[in-house]
Chains A and B, each alone.
Chain A
Amino acid sequence: MIKTVRIAIPREAKKGEVIEIKTLVSHPMESGFRPGPTGKIVPRNIIKFFICQYLDQEVFKLEYFPAIAANPFLRFHIQALKSGTVKFIWIDQHQQQHTESRYLTVNDQ
C-alpha cells in the first residue's frame, strides 16, 4: 500500500555524532471507524510497525495504532558509529513489507 517514501538522512557523519532521520510515507491509515460514501464502515487499513536497522541491528521500533493520521511522518535520532547501511522497514496489518535502505558514511575523527 505504500507507494511513495521520503527519507531524510545525512550521507556523512562524524563518529559518535547523533544524527536526525526523518521519514514520510504515503498511506491512508484508515482507522476502521469511519463510514464511507455508501454509509458502510471502511475496513481498517493501517501500517502496524516501523523498524529502523543500522549495521543489521534494530535501533528504533515503533508500533502504530488506528488514531494515527494518514501519511505518517516520523523524526528520530541515531548515533553514528561506523559506515554502513541504514534500513527502514514498514510492515502493514497484512504483513506486507516495504523496505528502503540508505548508506551512511562515518568519518573517523
Chain B
Amino acid sequence: MISEMSEKALTNRRIFKSCFLSLLLWITGCTSQETLLSPTLEVADDQLISHLTLPIVSGKHFQSKDTQSLQADDFANPGMLWVDKGLQLWETPPSTLSPSCAKCHSNNLQFKTVATRYPVYSSSKKRVINLEQRINQCREQQQMQPTWAYESQELLSITAYIANLSRGMPFSVTVNTQSLPFLLQGQDYYYTRRGQLNLACFHCHENYVGTQLRGDKLSQGHGNGYPAYRLEWQTLGSLHRRLRACDIGVRAEAYSLGSTEYVNLELYLAWRAQNLTIETPAVRR
C-alpha cells in the first residue's frame, strides 16, 4: 500500500520538473549556454531529487550480525576469492602480444578512486557506461581481445578487484550536461511503477525502509557493495543481476544485463548514494 502523501509528493515532483524544464529552456534562450552551464558546475541539480528522508546508510546495516561480520572479515569474506582472481587477471597479459592491465595502469594513483566515478559519460558511445563496460572497452581496444560476457567470472573478478581498490571512498559521479539526461532517465526508472505488482523502486526502498519483506529487511537500495556476494546466489554477482532480481520480484519484464536502462539507473543510484562509501565485495543475504 502506498501512502497518499508520497503519491502527492510524486505528482508535485512531476509538476515541479516540467515547470523547471520550461524555465530552463527560457533561460537558455536568454543567456548563452556557456555562462549557465560551466563544465565543473553541478548543472541543473534541482531537477534531481531523492525522496529519501532518512540519513543514507549502506545496505549492510540491514543484514544480520553474522552477515556483517562475514563481510568485515577480509579473509573469510567469500567475495575476496573474486578479488584475488581479479588481481591475477590484472597482472597477467591475455596473450604474448597484448599488454596486461597492470602494464598501462601501474602506479596510477587515480585508479584508487576509479570505481567511485562510474557510470560515466563516454563520448565515443554517446551514452553513460559503467565500470564493466569500460573494462570491456579497454579489453577490446587496448588488449585486442574479445570482450567478456557480462556476468562471466572473469568480468566479475576484475570488476570486483578494481572496485575493491576504491573501498572506503565515497561515490562521486559527475553531473554535467552530458550525463544529466541519462541521470534523469535513471531517476524516471526509479520513480516509475512497473510489473504486475505495479511497484516502483521507491515504494519499497524509500517508503518501507527497515521493514520486513519476507525474510529480508528492506534496505535503502544503494549499490555501493556491488559486485557483491549474495548468500542466496552462493556466488558473486553484479549490480545488474541484483536489479533484475528486483524487477522479476515485482513481476516486471527485466532488462538484460548491461542494458542502457540499468546503466542509467546505476548512475542515478550512485548519485542518490552521495557520500556513501564503496564496500566491494559486500556480503548480502
Contact = CB atoms under 8 A, between A and B. Distances in A.
A71 B82 CA distance: 11
Given A3-B85, A4-B85, A6-B75, A70 B80 contact: no
A19 interface: no
Is chain B's interface secondary structure helix, strand, loop, or mixed overall? Answer: mixed
A26 to B, nearest CB: 5
B234 interface: yes
A62 interface: no
Given A22-B75, A24-B75, A6 B81 contact: yes
Given A22-B76, A24-B75, A71-B78, A6 B84 contact: yes
A29 B78 CA distance: 14
Contacts of B84: 4, 6
Interface string B52-81: 000000000000000000000001101011
Interface string A1-42: 001101010000000000000101110110000000000000
A65 interface: no
A52 to B, nearest CB: 17
A98 B136 CA distance: 31
Given A24-B75, A70-B234, A6 B85 contact: no
Contacts of B231: 69
Nearest to A8: B75
B76 A24 contact: yes
Contacts of B81: 4, 6, 24-26, 71
A73 interface: yes
Interface of B: 75-76, 78, 80-82, 84-85, 231, 234-235
Given A3-B85, A6-B75, 4 more contacts: A24-B76, A69-B234, A70-B78, A70-B234
29 contacts: A4-B81, A4-B82, A4-B84, A4-B85, A6-B75, A6-B80, A6-B81, A6-B84, A8-B75, A22-B75, A22-B76, A24-B75, A24-B76, A24-B80, A24-B81, A25-B81, A26-B81, A26-B85, A28-B234, A28-B235, A29-B234, A69-B231, A70-B78, A70-B234, A70-B235, A71-B78, A71-B234, A73-B76, A73-B78
